[in-house]
Structure 1
Amino acid sequence: MSSQLTVTIDKLAIGGAGVARHDGLVIFVPDAAPGDELLIEITTKKKNFAEAQIVKVLKPGPSRRTPPCPIADRCGGCNWQHLTEDEQRRQKQLMVQETLAKFLPGMDLPFLPLKESPLSLRYRNRIQPKYSRGRFGFFARRSHEIVEAKDCPITEEKLTNEFAKIKAELDKKFRDTKETQRLEIYLDQSETPKWLLMGEEKEGVGFSQVNRFQNEDLIKTVLEWSEGADYERIFDFYAGGGNFTFPLAEKYRTQQIVAAELDSKLVQKAHEKIQAAGSLNKRMHYYLSDVASFMRRTQFQSKDLVLLDPPRAGADEYVMKALAQGSVAKIIYISCHPVSLARDLKYFFEAQAARSSSKPLKLKKIQCFEMFPQTDHVETIAELAVDTP
């Protein structure tokens, strides 16, 4: 096979690359758009697939556009700015649908329309730029070279307005230092811009979701989907700082609220919030624990609501099988990676089928949320509940 080929991009894959086929070989091409006719060069060849880079765009696909950011073709932060927003959303929905269908063959997948982000630019309230010897910006794609940035169009202007001042302070302290400085710039809970070097103690926890505008709708959806049963206990696993825990406690004012989170700083902040609320002291329990260990000490019941919001790696096999053995009323799973979501649902339904439950949970709703426009990342919510008469 020649190292240079002409291909047409069919669709986009998880990770953001375009997918092309040549003589039965699947080829992944970063920075591609659906419908692109490309001259590509193979960079890596494996048994079942290959990776390539674009040599020339021979004919652009209908959704290819000029990126809104002038450094988008070099910066490693956004990998889909060359696509129209409509196509980004279409591809995200398609990726999640195809991934779940692969892991759950034959199962009904009741997808709702994707929820658009209120903002496709200026939505991030937390970013991690880099600094080295007078260069302030972001790592280039697949590199530790810094692409200089005076602005970042996906970041809230309250933060980007601070770039020049922050760079001036870094110039004074680190201009002659060889090591690359890694920063976090964020809005705190009062929407005040703050910054620090990675590894430093934060004075306070910022927003729990980097897209606070879309996070409001995410919380609202979780609360709406939680309805429909008479719960006695509500569990929030991988609870973070309580992004969902406290809204659930506000909605369900008589139930026991139980949260488990492994980050000690987030648990401490949650405890402070519980103490400040006063009324939550007796019915909210916020534990410092990994979820699997916590589940080994917990007996689930038929009137329990369980919320899962794991990191990209998802929940592990034990967690899903334990839930399948527990006969809970409802599970709401918030996922930030389609593959881990699909795998975890497979674990759950296989374990539930082996148990032959009299009231099995079924996949009732699935909805994608656009939390990170201009990138391939997608948030997905799935509801598992018993059939109601």
Structure 2
Amino acid sequence: MLSRGSQINVTIEKMAIGGAGIARHEGMVLFIPLAAPADELTVEITLKKKNFAEAKIVKILKPGPSRRTPPCPVALVCGGCNWQQITEEEQRSQKQQLVLETIQKFNRGVEFEYLPIKASPRSLRYRNRIQPKFKNGNFGFFARNSHAIVDIKDCPITEEDLTAKFPEVRAFAEQKRSQDLLKLEMYIAEEGDIRYGLITDDDDGVGFSQVNRFQNEDLVATALEWAGDYSYKNVFDLYAGSGNFTFPLAAKYSIATIHGVELNPKLVERAKSRIGNKPIKYFLSDVENYMKKAVIGREDLVVLDPPRAGASEEIMKKLAQTPPRKIIYISCHPVSLARDLNWLFAWAQKLGKSFKLSRVQTFEMFPQTDHVETIAELVVDS
């Protein structure tokens, strides 16, 4: 009988959402951080529940074929990356499999074209925004499952223009002479300059932006391509941020009215400063509240790019009630995507509508981690 502290030998079957490796022992599912597919391991149980357990690696008996030495010397202790011990090719393979399995689990019988994952142009040096910490002279990121700071002088997944500023930002934090934990933000602005500052209760930083600008170009281009060449009357960009999709959509659909909806006032302000005479209307609003009053027609396009938590059942119900011509859903979490699709299909069926999931594709937006970006195209099934 497994209990906390028990040591057993296991083989990793595959990787899980959340980043741990999955193994099984006497019918019990085990989640093991920092594992790699096909690893043969001695592990120690750290948490035991009714239907699963968590464990830590005690010894690698035989490494799986994709296990490697992480490119970052602190990868196994830093909480920033959890897949650096796996080759990039296998990382992409696992993400491709995870997204497919998750969508199918929530939407049994739904058929769609599943395209190969798009590799990131960079597997290292791709992040243009980071949030390091500083306390007691230590500058870096939280250790895994801890608030202890792993002191660093470099971060291999961060663009070099940012890491070159680490000494300057460390000195900036030291000058605060604070005994408290300081949360910092560093990013490459749209103008190309490096900016940094403190994150406080009154200032939560720059707000959401895609951290991999090299891959983001392909993601935006794919969304525009999938949206098609139809002359939409209105284009709704939900969870619009500062306009990552809004402005490219406005450029492509010049005769349409573009509606950007975003809750973060900083992002809305930034977007509005760029609108000029473009036919863009930006709304500072929670998407669910906005959708209660929105009038979406059969000649309209809806693009939504929600946070990791996804949309809501009410939002998907509204989209089913007044179906647009096409929906492009961009997701950063497979579970929330699969759940939202399930809500849409369920409400469409109740309301006598019918949607087709045309195609899905994953994008390697966050190499060295278990996170993945996915784009899905939905059309009214006529």
TM norm. shorter chain > 0.5: yes
2:366 alignment partner in structure 1: 372
For residues 352 and 88 of structure 1, what CA distance do their matches in structure 2 show? 35
1:298 alignment partner in structure 2: 294
Residue identity in the other structure for 1:378: V
2:336 alignment partner in structure 1: 340
1:233 alignment partner in structure 2: 234
Is the partner of 2:220 in helix, strand or coil? helix
Please point out which of 78, 83, 93 is paired with 1:80.
83
2:311 alignment partner in structure 1: 315
1:269 alignment partner in structure 2: 270
For residues 170 and 270 of structure 1, what CA distance do their matches in structure 2 show? 30
Q: How far is 1:306 from its partner?
A: 0.3
Greater CA drift, 294-303 or 50-59: 294-303
Q: How far is 1:361 from its partner?
A: 2.4
For residues 204 and 76 of structure 1, what CA distance do their matches in structure 2 show? 20
For residues 362 and 228 of structure 1, what CA distance do their matches in structure 2 show? 19
Residue identity in the other structure for 1:161: A
Is the partner of 1:74 in helix, strand or coil? coil
Percent of residue pairs bearing the same amino acid type? 59
Q: TM-score, normalised by structure 1?
A: 0.94
Please point out which of 161, 177, 182 is paired with 2:164.
161
- Could you report, residue by residue, the CA deviation over 1:316-364 in whole angstroms, capped at 9, with x for unpaired residues? 000001101112100000000000000000000011111222xx32000
Please point out which of 362, 379, 382 is paired with 1:385.
379
Residue identity in the other structure for 1:350: A
Is the partner of 1:114 in helix, strand or coil? strand
Do the aligned partners of 2:143 and 2:149 also contact (CA within 8 Å) in 1?
yes
Do the aligned partners of 1:188 and 1:205 also contact (CA within 8 Å) in 2?
no
For residues 171 and 297 of structure 2, what CA distance do their matches in structure 1 show? 57
For residues 154 and 124 of structure 2, what CA distance do their matches in structure 1 show? 12
Please point out which of 110, 116, 132 is paired with 1:107.
110
Q: How far is 1:164 from its partner?
A: 1.3
For residues 203 and 94 of structure 1, what CA distance do their matches in structure 2 show? 35
Structure 2 residue 150 is matched with structure 1 residue 147 = yes
Give the aligned CA root-mean-square deviation in angstroms: 1.6
Structure 2 residue 288 is matched with structure 1 residue 287 = no
1:118 alignment partner in structure 2: 121
Greater CA drift, 182-191 or 363-372: 182-191
Do the aligned partners of 1:235 and 1:307 also contact (CA within 8 Å) in 2?
yes
Do the aligned partners of 1:330 and 1:361 also contact (CA within 8 Å) in 2?
no
- Could you report, residue by residue, the CA deviation over 1:241-292 in whole angstroms, capped at 9, with x for unpaired residues? 0100010000011111111111111111111111xx32x1xx3111111111
Consecutive unaligned residues in structure 1, runs of 5 or more: none
For residues 385 and 352 of structure 1, what CA distance do their matches in structure 2 show? 12
Do the aligned partners of 2:207 and 2:264 also contact (CA within 8 Å) in 1?
no
Residue identity in the other structure for 2:100: Q
For residues 205 and 68 of structure 2, what CA distance do their matches in structure 1 show? 40
- Could you report, residue by residue, the CA deviation over 1:67-102 in whole angstroms, capped at 9, with x for unpaired residues? 000111111100000000000000011110110110
Residue identity in the other structure for 1:329: R
Q: How far is 1:372 from its partner?
A: 0.4
Task: List, as ranges, runs of 4+ consecutive aligned residues in structure 1 with deviation greater than 3 Å.
Answer: 200-207
Q: How far is 1:109 from its partner?
A: 3.1
Q: For residues 25 and 168 of structure 1, do their structure 2 counterparts lie closer, same or farther at Cα, with a shift above 3 Å needed?
A: same
Please point out which of 126, 138, 151 is paired with 2:141.
138
2:351 alignment partner in structure 1: 355
Consecutive unaligned residues in structure 2, runs of 5 or more: none
